[in-house]
Amino acid sequence: MDLKYKRILLKLSGESLMGDKQYGLDEKRLSEYATQIKEIVSLGIETGIVIGGGNIFRGLSGASRGFDRVKGDQMGMLATVINSLALSSALTAAGQKSRVFTAINMFPIGEYYSKWKAIEAMQKGEIAIISGGTGNPFFTTDTGSALRGIEIEAEVMLKGTRVDGIYTTDPEKDPSAVKFEKISYDEIYTRGLKVMDLTATTLCKENKLPIIVFDMDTVGNLKKVLTGENIGTLVY
Ligand code: UDP
């Protein structure tokens, strides 16, 4: 089988782990993700994963409710660790080995992250789930995944969302929105598109890490992206 990439960084949003729920974790969604991820690892793709925490806590919305921003961001980072443990557990249940790394030392919940430990895990066919964002407040997990993707020398960052790509306007609100097959980093700035925060986009641009935004919630799509089917939007 023709594979487009040998090593990838997959970003999953925390919100998508809720499935149809309003908060927290949906076991069915976790198990669907685990099956899709196991499938691509069995093709020989070295896989690193970064997960968000929005299904549990976000520092910015916490601040609007009176939480201290830094403490709120720390709560958000811990939420990403919870999600990472949940995905790791679902992967184990699916028969796929994984290792959870944390940006902040909290052994034995996870191993303290280093680029080399993550690469070593991936080379053994284990999934490196890199949690805790960047370890710093005022950042997002999109920036965390851009950073980790560059560090682990991934060839692409796959941003799994519930939308099937990048559109001229929000397709969930505007039926006339048109999808891009490809778009440059610069066009994201000039059109003011909210694909990722600008810190994450700039990090990818400056380090030439392409991004593919695709619908991860349709089972089978992850493999399709990696075998070169033209789904999603490529940012280059
Ligand atoms: N966060 C942080 N630093 C990081 C990454 C995340 O402080 O490097 C916090 C921040 O409060 C953020 C929350 O963790 O709102 C959850 O991450 P994010 O909102 O990116 O999750 P997603 O929207 O992808 O579920």
User: Could you tell me which residues come within 8 angstroms of residue 129 by beta carbon, excluding any fewer than 6 positions away?
Assistant: 48, 49, 50, 51, 84, 87, 88, 98, 99, 100, 101
pLDDT in tens, 88-99: 999 999 999 999
Using only the alpha carbons of the chain, give its radius of gyration: 17
Q: Domains in the chain, start-ordered, CATH in brackets?
A: 7-235 (3.40.1160.10)
Find how far residue 100's CA is from the centre of its chain: 14
Q: Any idea which residue has 């499935």 for tokens?
A: 19
Candidate from 87, 141, 148, 194 with most ligand 1 atoms within 8 A of CB, to mutate: 141
Let me know: does 48 contact 196? Beta carbons within 8 Å.
Answer: no
Question: What mean pLDDT, rounded, does the chain reach?
Answer: 96
User: Ligand 1, atom 16: nearest CA belongs to which residue?
Assistant: 53
Query: 12: annotated binding-site residue?
Result: yes
The confidence score (pLDDT) of residue 3 equals 86
Q: Is the pLDDT of residue 141 over 80?
A: yes
Let me know: does 201 contact 150? Beta carbons within 8 Å.
Answer: no
Spell out which residues line ligand 1, taking CB within 6 angstroms.
Answer: 13-15, 52-54, 58-60, 72-73, 76-77, 79-80, 133-134, 136-137, 139-142, 144
Q: Is the pLDDT of residue 172 over 90?
A: no
Q: Point out the ligand 1 atom lying closest to the alpha carbon of residue 138.
A: 7
Of 76, 71, 90, residue with least CA distance to 28:
90
Structure tokens at 143: 């920036």
Structure tokens at 236: 């280059």
Candidate from 10, 64, 140, 157 with most ligand 1 atoms within 8 A of CB, to mutate: 140
The confidence score (pLDDT) of residue 140 equals 97
DSSP string for residues in 48-60? EEEE--TTT--HH
Phi, psi of 64 (to 5 degrees): -70, -15
The confidence score (pLDDT) of residue 2 equals 78
Structure tokens at 124: 């053994």
Q: Point out the ligand 1 atom lying closest to the alpha carbon of residue 54.
A: 25
Q: Is the pLDDT of residue 1 over 80?
A: no
The confidence score (pLDDT) of residue 202 equals 97
Phi, psi of 136 (to 5 degrees): -125, 145
pLDDT in tens, 26-66: 999 999 999 999 999 999 999 999 999 999 999 999 999 99
pLDDT in tens, 101-131: 999 999 999 999 999 999 999 999 999 999 9
Omega of the bond leading into 175 within 30 degrees of 0 (cis): no
Taking the centre of ligand 1 as the mean of its atom positions, its distance from the CA of residue 141, in whole angstroms, is: 5
Strand partners, 211: 157, 235
Structure tokens at 196: 């990722």
Query: What are the residue ranges of helices labelled H in the chain?
Result: 27-42, 59-64, 69-93, 115-123, 141-151, 185-191, 198-206, 221-226
Taking the centre of ligand 1 as the mean of its atom positions, its distance from the CA of residue 33, in whole angstroms, is: 20
